[in-house]
Amino acid sequence: MKNMTTPPSRLARLPRALATAFAAAALLASGGMLPTAHAAIIGYMQPYDTLTEARISSSALPAAEQAAWRDYLARSRALMAADKAVLAAERGAAAPTAAAPTAAVPTGSATPPAPPHNTSHDGGMPLNRQAAWYGSAEARLVAANILSYQTPAGGWGKNTNRAAPPRQRGQHYVVDDVVPGSPPRKDAWNYVGTIDNDATTTELRFLARVQAQAPGAGGDAYRQSFLKGLRYLLNAQYPNGGYPQIYPLQGGYHDAITFNDNAMGSVVELLDEAAAAKGDYAFVPAAMAGEARAAAARAVQLILASQIVIGGVRTAWCQQHDPITLSPVGARNFEPPSLTSGESAALIILLMRLPDPSPDAVAAVRGTAAWLQRAALRDVEWTGKEPIAGRMLVAKPGAGPIWSRYYDIATMKPIFGDRDRSIHDDVNAVSLERRNGYAWFGTGPAKALELYARWPHSRP
């Protein structure tokens, strides 16, 4: 467990400085809108340090463990170089080097257009159809796309429409615009192999369903691709059991252990399914199933070790944690290190699904469930996108509960980030663009608490 310390001046306020009191007192006293007269910028985001040999050498890790981390970095770089070399060869370009990390396309050659961006909620890979549908021509077209976009390292990019035609020779593995609506960054090497936005895990689940409807030689390509993708996930796991957002490592906050959007949780669930080697996963070889089982167990231990403990009390998790120290870290400019409600709710759902949870897992779930109950906001509403004012947090007696996405680790009060790296204690003081463009509040933790109420281990 990651034990946090707080400055003495703030520690005394910790036990009662919770979100419910914040909402009831501050909002209702204002007569509606959250008051901004006393809103404050309480800090600024600090950029995350890329995982490097220098960081490993300066860490407190024992020498033997440092060697394993250095080996991990070396494998990651070799896999990225191989990915780039294959694309360069397809385009008839020189393989990338340290001096020219992105291979140039020869003058006069035509590069295929970037893959089409996904516009559906499932990326063109529905996982809720009847089993027979996965043997249809429509499903096999999707599977053909999936096979064609698998990187040499074994993963997939995100936000690509898998119902589109297969990848052409020389076409990039990923969409140009990493974020929908953002300016294209042609041939940028971003998210080439990722678990963000359910990438890679969704492709693998879809392939498992398709191969189950294609016994014999007709399904071999799907099974081979699945096993290559499973190997990718096993390779991507850090020596301590965590998972980066992108693999091979891309640098920056992507190197952090990523719970954001249930990225690591989705991997653990997939590993468990593969380890069982039943149903759609019955084809997984026993040895590889054993590797998946061991990897899932290491991941669960990492989850337990990274839970933030304050003054001896288990609380929640951050969206990202440092891969070596397990300290909570920030990501994008508006995503500060904090206690996160949605990701923590997803993690205890994962832990509650363990068939035989350890005493440590039981304690972790109980601690986070108690924290979520304390952190709930009531008598407030997160409004829709008003034409001029945008989204606002306003008082509404009887409303809720809702949860802030982020809570300050020291005060337990909601906090909010902006694109200029500023951290605010009032969401209504955040820029209009960020208020309208980010999920600052949600009701997701309610599901976790409902499951917790029925969980056999919820009480001693």
Number of other CB atoms surrounding residue 108 within 10 Å: 5
Name the 3-class secondary structure at 314. Answer: strand
- Whether 275 contacts 234, CB under 8 Å: no
Chain Cα centroid distance, residue 331: 11
Rounded CA separation 292/232 (Å): 11
Closest CA to 416 of 435, 397, 403, 433: 435
For residue 110, count CB atoms less than 10 angstroms from its CB and return exposed for 0-12, middle for 13-18, buried for 19 or more.
exposed
CB 152 within 8 A of CB 83: yes
Q: Which of 332, 374, 378, 421 is flagged as catalytic?
A: 332
Beta pairing partners, 4: 310
- Cβ-Cβ contacts under 8 Å for 86 (sequence gap 6 or more): 152
Q: 46: burial class by Cβ within 10 Å (0-12, 13-18, 19+)?
A: exposed
Q: Which long-range contacts (CB under 8 A, 24 or more apart) does 4-11 make?
A: 4/308, 4/309, 4/310, 4/328, 4/409, 6/310, 6/409, 6/410, 7/410, 10/410, 10/411, 11/311, 11/410
| CA nearest to 43, candidates 17, 76, 10, 12 | 10
The pairing of beta strand 380-382 with beta strand 416-417 = unpaired
From residue 274, give the alpha-carbon distance in Å to each of 92, 138, 277, 281. 38, 25, 5, 6
What is the C-alpha to C-alpha distance for residues 116 and 176, in angstroms, rounded to an integer? 9
Question: Would residue 332 show up in a list of annotated catalytic residues for this protein?
Answer: yes
Rounded CA-CA distance 301/309 in Å is 15
Question: Cis omega (within 30 of 0) on the bond before 445?
Answer: no
Q: Which is the catalytic residue, given 159, 190, 197, 428? A: 197
- Cα(34)–Cα(429) distance, integer angstroms: 9
317 and 343 Cβ atoms separated by less than 8 Å: yes
Secondary structure letter of residue 14 according to DSSP: T
- Report, as residue numbers or ranges, the catalytic residues: 197, 332
